Every structure is written in C-alpha cells, then in structure tokens.
Amino acid sequence: MQLDDTRIVVRERKFLDILDVSLHVMRTFSGPLALTFLVVAGPLFLLNELLIGWMSEPAFEDDRLESTFRFWWAMSLLVFIEAQLASSLSTLFLGQAMFFREVSMRSVLADAIKLFPRVFVCQILLRGVLVALLLVLFIERHHEFTAMIEFIWLPLLALGAMLLRSLRPFLSELVLLERNPLRSRNQTAMTVARRSASLHGVAAGDLFARWMGSAIVAMLLIVSLSAAFYVLSGVLFNGWGLSAIWVRGLVPLSMWVTAAYMAVVRYLSYLDLRIRNEGWEVELLMRAEAARLANQLS
C-alpha cells in the first residue's frame, strides 16, 4: 500500500472531468465493479420484478401503453431509492482499489458483513429502501392505480431521498470508507452525523449544482441505453413493439447500469470534495512520508 501512489490520480477535477474519468474507471475495473454491483443489485432487480412486474400486464390490449408507463414509473422510483444501497459493495471495492494493486473480493465481502448494521440503519432505514418496498406491497394487484401510494407516498419518499442525496450525497462513503460510528458516548467523537455536517456543510451549493448535473446525465443515459436496447432487441428478436423483454428487462437494466456508473461518479466526487476542502492529497503525501521515515527508523 502506497499512500502517494494511488490507482487514480489524486487532484482537483471539474465535474465534466469526473464524468470522463468515471468511464475510464469503469473500463479499467469492469469485471470487479460488475461483480460487486450485481451481488446487491441483482437481488434488488429480482425483488422489484416480483413486486411490480405484474403492472406491465394489461387487462386489455388497449391498455398496454398505460400499463407500461405505470410499470416504468414505479420501477424508476424504486431503482432511484435503492441505487445507493445497490452500490455499497462497489464503493467498498473502489475504496480498496484506490490504494492496493490487488483487491481480494473476500476482503470486500468481509468488510461488507462487518459494516452491514450501519448500512442497514443508514441506507435501508433512513434512506427509505425498506419503506418503499413495504409501500409497494400494499398496491392492489391487477387493479386500477392505487393513487395514494403510486402518486403520493412513493414520489414523496423519492423526493425525500433526492433532497438528502443532493445535500448529503456521500453517506455511503462515510459509513463504508471512513467508518465513522453511528453513535458515541464521547461528545467529541466524530460520528457519521458530525462528519457528514463537517464534510457537506461548507459545499452545499456546489453539491446541489453537481447533483442536478448528475441527474440530467443519468436521465439522458437511461434514455440512450433504453433506445439502444430497443433497437438491439428488435433486430435480434424481430419484434418492434412493447415486448416484455424490453419493457420488464432491458429498460430496468438501463436504470441499473446508469446507477452503477453514477456510483463511480459519486465516489470520485467524494474524493474531489475532500481534496478541495480538506487538502486530502497533501495529507496522503505527509502520511506516506511519515510511514517511510517510520520504516527507516525501525
């Protein structure tokens, strides 16, 4: 481990540079990132399909377009709420891959198991994943819209998640990488809440602007991938309508691929914020030099 010899160059970057570097990171670590993301996102994909897949099955052929958009609406809300949870293992991997040439998947899973209670509280409970899944369970199957849930409670939950992510986007990084405790009897201890306030508070305006830019990029990417999958499925299966494979499989897949990419963007944005506000690159150099001096003295 060399603190001053990182896999990703530690320096300030503009938002467009972060988007570009994220593509290079995904290409370089394509296998491990895909594996770590699928371990969590795969079960969530199947769970979402189990809970709301029936929405895309219209009672009458004339209702196909309406049922399709109903399914996409509910799926997009669920994927948005679950996205940070789905990228937990990927964030752990990136944190290790930053400094180590070889990263063991066993060590990533071991860290994930150790930190799961904090992830459960911060992501599954506080960020609304569990509430969203419970709300979906109360939607009446094969009936008209359950307006109270589909158009009020789920969107409100997604809106709350949006506000939290725009102003406090790096909760996963604090829990998984900095590993601050959730609570402490020591009033001066750096808990997750205190660390979040110190990291995010000084850059609230810039964080919100970057989140808006990320949201626009994410929506464009989902539309682009969905269109590409539509053409691909049409060519391969010789069907150009609203096929079940495209509606229930490929469009949600576009959402999850985008979520994986945005997880890398978020991680690099976290590094950039620490560099800008805390001089993290200088800290790494000082710690690396201190480690060398300690080795020489010993």
For the chain, what are the domain ranges? 15-297
Q: What CA–CA distances, in Å, run from 90 to 34, 69, 269, 281?
A: 8, 30, 15, 22
Provide the pLDDT for residue 32. Answer: 94
- 150-184 as b/e, with b when 16 or more CB fall inside 10 Å? beebbeebbeebeeebbbbbbbbbbbbbeebeeee
Query: E strands, the chain, where?
Result: none
Q: What CA–CA distances, in Å, run from 216 to 103, 150, 239, 268?
A: 33, 23, 30, 18
Provide the pLDDT for residue 35. Answer: 95
| Residues of the chain under the 70 pLDDT cut | 1-6, 59-62, 142-143, 280-298
Nearest CA to 260 out of 26, 97, 48, 78 is that of 26
Provide the pLDDT for residue 163. Answer: 92
C-alpha–C-alpha distance, residues 236 and 283, integer Å: 53
Provide the pLDDT for residue 280. Answer: 62
Could you tell me how far CA 294 lies from the centroid of its own chain? 38
Provide the pLDDT for residue 132. Answer: 95
119 with 86: CB under 8 angstroms?
A: no
Question: What is the value of pTM for the model shown?
Answer: 0.90
Residues 6+ apart with CB under 8 A from 204: 167
Provide the pLDDT for residue 111. Answer: 93
Provide the pLDDT for residue 58. Answer: 75
